[in-house]
Amino acid sequence: MAKHTDVLLLANAMMGQFISGVATRIFIVSLPTIATALNADILSVSWALIAYQLAGISLSVVFGRLGDIHGRYAIYGAGFVVMTVSSGLCGLAPGVGWLIVFRLVQGVGAAMIASAARVLAMEALPEGAEGRANGFMTMSYHGGLLLGPPLGGLVIDLLSWRWIFFLLVPIGVAGTVLTIARARGRRAAPVERPAAVDYVGAAMLVVLTVMLTLVVDRRSAEAIGAGRTSILLAAFALGLAGFVTHELRVANPIVNLGLFRIRMFAFSVLSLLAFATTSSILTFLLPFYIQDVLHRSPSFMGLLFLSAPILTISLAVLAGHLTDRVGPRIPATIGLSVVMASFAIGVGLKVDSHWALPALLLACTGIGQGFFNTPNQTAIIGSVPRAYRGFATGLVQMMFGLGSLLGISLGGALLTQMFRRYSGIPDATPSAAMPAAFVAAMNATYAVCFGVMLLALVASLLRGGRRIEAADR
């Protein structure tokens, strides 16, 4: 840890989080335009989105652990180079097939960056300021998420869709230069390094993560022609058993299962998965309610949705200060409680509710995220031995990604079942054409989410109230 704030290192880490946030969202707004420009259907273009997600989810933990072993600067700097080159290639892609390949490579670069950014920020600030460091990371990432869609739309209107990728190149170059400049200065604190890398375990983990993604995200499974969910689930269960057996036998596993005996780490990971899943359901369903039931315009809805990231960005550093002073349990629990309030509002929404209610729901979501994300991520990364902080950072990224996919899949399934019940039509597809049944189904889905958030709240309370201390082993 630094004795004083290493401004260059902190700026470098914030740059990594920012470009990750921008790259995640800027592509989404360009999907229809790219499909038209490349003479492809929306399903083909969506593969470029799926490829990016798969790379990020499946490789974050692996790169995090490799950074623990071989040094985080090597992984982090290489991530910027890969991100920069692949972004330029995406902008030059002559067809949708090449775009998918280059987006996959871009996802690899994003995973390399994300696996190290938070750890480097924690090393940039003095001992005891881990919460503040993660506050800066949350602020930077959500800043990228906030700017990505409007920036992408503006670039497409003024230039072309190719420039949404070319725009990432100078950001990537700046991150590369900052990494090189910092690496030539004083080096990061040395970490305990195992003798070897568990490459077999790493390969098994990547395969398992892809399989789990296909299980929870039917869009991905259908896109590659995968079989039934039951077959995928059975294969995943067998693979998981083999992976656990392997990890327990090797000397230096890619996933040290003993870390889950650390109380703060285990309960924080559980809280994160529950939070990410339910938050994904919330943002997945609400646009249909605002636009199709309340009949508000897309631009008006877009303004409403700005409130959540703005509030998250505004509160992230404050939550970090609180974490450093009183530990992660209090601010994280406050955040979860406020998000639970947003679901309580969602349960009470009606066909003729005023738009102020979903606006209040989104505001509560932003406040809750602002208070929860920073302390919870600090608890996950700060509670493990320093030699495993890269692994913990990668696990944070994986949990967010899996939670997002699981939320969309679970939200769609719950809404469908509830809609069929309230509409009285056994094979009905959820539609705002039957607004009463749709809103009742959405209310019931949010009620289930409230129950899942209660689990997250209990886990947050059980994590312990002491300040974060790195485990010895």
Q: What is the per-residue pLDDT across 159-215, written as a single tens digit (0 to 9) for each? A: 888 998 998 899 889 888 888 877 665 554 444 544 567 788 888 888 888 787 777
| Listed residue (141, 116, 180) closest to 14, CA to CA | 141
First to last CA, the chain: 18
Q: Residue 428, Cβ neighbours under 10 Å: how many?
A: 16
CA distance 349 to 426: 24
| Percent of residues, the chain, with pLDDT higher than 70 | 91
Note the pLDDT of residue 349.
Answer: 92
Note the pLDDT of residue 467.
Answer: 62
| Residue 451 Cα distances to 278, 403, 415, 440, angstroms | 10, 16, 16, 17
Phi and psi, residue 192, nearest 5° = -70, 125
Select the more confidently predicted residue: 87 or 206: 87
- pLDDT digits 0-9 by tens, 63-85: 888 888 877 888 888 999 999 99
- Cβ within 8 Å of residue 396, ≥6 positions away: 118, 272, 377, 380, 381
CA distance 27 to 148: 8
- Give the residue-averaged pLDDT of 342-364: 92
Which tokens hold the place of 336?
A: 């979860």
Note the pLDDT of residue 90.
Answer: 92
Question: Is 60 exceeded by the pLDDT of residue 226?
Answer: no
Which tokens hold the place of 82?
A: 């890969």
Question: Is 60 exceeded by the pLDDT of residue 471?
Answer: no
Note the pLDDT of residue 33.
Answer: 80
Note the pLDDT of residue 468.
Answer: 58
Note the pLDDT of residue 223.
Answer: 56
- Whether 53 and 400 have beta carbons less than 8 Å apart is answered as no
Which tokens hold the place of 250?
A: 């090797």
Which sign, positive or negative, has the C-alpha torsion 99, 104, 109, 111?
positive
Which tokens hold the place of 369?
A: 């995220």
Note the pLDDT of residue 88.
Answer: 93
| Listed residue (398, 360, 363, 465) closest to 208, CA to CA | 398
- Give the residue-averaged pLDDT of 86-93: 92
Note the pLDDT of residue 194.
Answer: 47
- Cβ within 8 Å of residue 211, ≥6 positions away: 232, 235, 236, 239
Which tokens hold the place of 472?
A: 């010895």
Question: Is 90 exceeded by the pLDDT of residue 453?
Answer: yes
| Percent of residues, the chain, with pLDDT higher than 90 | 25
pLDDT band at 62 (very low <50, low <70, confident <90, very high): confident
- Whether 317 and 323 have beta carbons less than 8 Å apart is answered as no
Question: Is 60 exceeded by the pLDDT of residue 225?
Answer: no
- Whether 268 and 383 have beta carbons less than 8 Å apart is answered as yes
Question: Is 90 exceeded by the pLDDT of residue 267?
Answer: yes
- pLDDT digits 0-9 by tens, 126-156: 877 888 888 888 888 888 888 877 887 788 8
